[in-house]
Amino acid sequence: MVQVAVADRPENSTSGEKAHEEKKVAVHGAATVRFEHRHGETRLATLYHHDPLRVLMPTPRRDDLPIAVLATTSGGMVGGDRMDIDLSVGPGARALITTQAAEKVYRSTGADCRIDTALSVESGAWLEWMPQEAIVFEGSRLRRLTRIDLSGDGRAIAGEMLVFGRAAFGETVSRGLIRDAWEVARDGRLIWADALHLDDDIGEALAHPAGFGGAAACATLLHASPDAARHLDAVRALAEPIKGARIGATTLDGLLIVRILGGDARAVRGAYAALWSGLRSEAAGLPTRLPRLWEV
């Protein structure tokens, strides 16, 4: 039996003044998705979403994993907005979760936007969390935390990508807040914590050769598995022919960590996608391909 719940914000009042006030109120979206292994296959067990987050369940490609897709119906995040995402797979279950499109983080007058994502991967399970990029606008304020909790021999691939401004409009990012943090724990023990923190006058750090060197985008790709180190050479081989992005990979304590940096956001996205699709094949024997949404 699948548990499904949907919640929406109350309709705005017909009063013009009250409606105007309500439009200023920050939104708090939430989504919970859980897959479990039942009767020989992975099935959706729990589904909850609260406006402006929606969870879609498209038909997976042949011979691929069950897939869930998160969509933000508000068109982007403004100061004070918050998204809480809770994704889990039970023992023996395997699933892929992604997003419908890039997340836009608009200019803020002072309040921070928050995206908190919690991943839970139980023993014998496999989870892929590969959202599309977050585009931070000039003057935006973003705090994002991704927490992965693994049990036993649970395995995961997870990633995040940041794009600094709208290149098509010639926009660069010179001020704002970007805090992008990761925490990974196995059996309750924290094995890795990492945070990018840029605040206020961030243009210099993005432009400086010792910082981001003028990069238009960056990405982090993680593979958490007891045998993650075994795939390091394969990932480096996958990275070798990729052009337009600088890529580094290393391993520690059951983690394979890949960093991607580039002056063109499309090149970074292409590298991120190529390494993900190659790694899922190398580590789990899955098809070397992306969800259809990634090819639109």
Q: Using one digit for the tens of pLDDT, what is the confidence trace for 209-255?
A: 999 999 999 999 999 999 999 999 999 999 999 999 999 999 999 99
Token digits of residue 174:
């010179």
In the prediction, which pLDDT does 22 show? 36
Residue type, 176: G
Residue the block writes with tokens 């969390």: 129
pLDDT tens track for 80-116 = 999 999 999 999 999 999 999 999 999 998 899 999 9
Question: Taken in order 242, 70, 92, 62, is the CA torsion positive or negative?
Answer: negative
- What is the pLDDT confidence band of residue 172, given thresholds at 50, 70 and 90? confident
* DSSP-H helix ranges across the chain: 16-23, 203-207, 232-239, 265-284
The structure's pTM equals: 0.90
Q: Where are the domains of the chain?
A: 35-295
pLDDT band with cut points at 50, 70 and 90 for residue 171: confident
Contacts of 138 (CB under 8 A, 6+ apart): 107, 165, 171, 172, 173, 174, 175, 176
Task: Say what the pLDDT of residue 229 is.
Answer: 97
The tokens 């995402």 sit on which residue?
85
Distance CA 244, CA 248 (A): 13
